[in-house]
Amino acid sequence: MSTVDILFWIFATLSVGGGLSMVLSRHPVSAAMFMIISLVGVAALFVLLESFFLAVLQVLVYAGAVMVLFLFIIMLLDVGPGASKINFSNWKTGLIGFGASCLLIFLLSALLSPGEDTLSFGQSWTVINNSTAPAPVDALVFSTDISAFGYALMTKYMLPVQISGFLLLAAMIGVIILSKRSGTPSSNS
């Protein structure tokens, strides 16, 4: 077993275990803490997949901003542990959904078993060698440095970048209007 294998199993256990304890935990604050563990595990898996920029972004955006927002709202609304029950009538539906996704996993592993020559998912890793990789002409080649991201965002994905900027602006204005209107419900009418 190489180091990558050991690290993969450690962080896979961390992310899946964190996710499961998040789903099943009683108190919302501890659920948010387990969620942070799971997100950091996923960030470490991104490092194992050699996309370091996305790992940094995962820690900054998810574990930093989004979960702090969640914790802020949980503590603002003061959601206690006793009230957060699990809906037992929906257990069957949840188990059916989980079983369906497990079936999907089996289907995937059956389809992509070793011997498939299209993408060779069952094979082990190949070393990245950008100079000899037979990529299509105008395709963006996978790279570990950030400048490749910047180049791709500014050339091929220029329109999506602007659209996502507009989306962030719309979300910001929407949040401001929502919190303003709900702040003074009686003074208007």
**Residue 74 CB: number of other CB atoms within 10 A?**
15
State the Cα angle at 133 between 160 and 116, rounded to 5°. 90
Beta carbon of residue 22, minimum distance to other proteins (angstroms, whole number): 6
Which residue from 18, 12, 8, 2 is spatially nearest to 48, judged by alpha carbons?
A: 8
Distance of CA 152 to the CA centre of its chain: 21
Q: Is 56 in the site for other proteins (CB under 8 A)?
A: no
Q: Is 38 in the site for other proteins (CB under 8 A)?
A: yes
DSSP state of 140: P
In the block, which residue shows the tokens 């180049």?
151
Q: Is 146 in the site for other proteins (CB under 8 A)?
A: no
Q: Which of 10, 16, 154, 158 binds other proteins (CB under 8 A)?
A: 16
Q: Is 33 in the site for other proteins (CB under 8 A)?
A: no
Q: Is 44 in the site for other proteins (CB under 8 A)?
A: no
* Contacting other proteins within 59-88 (CB under 8 A): 61-62, 65-66, 69-70, 73-74, 76-77, 79, 83-87
Beta carbon of residue 33, minimum distance to other proteins (angstroms, whole number): 11
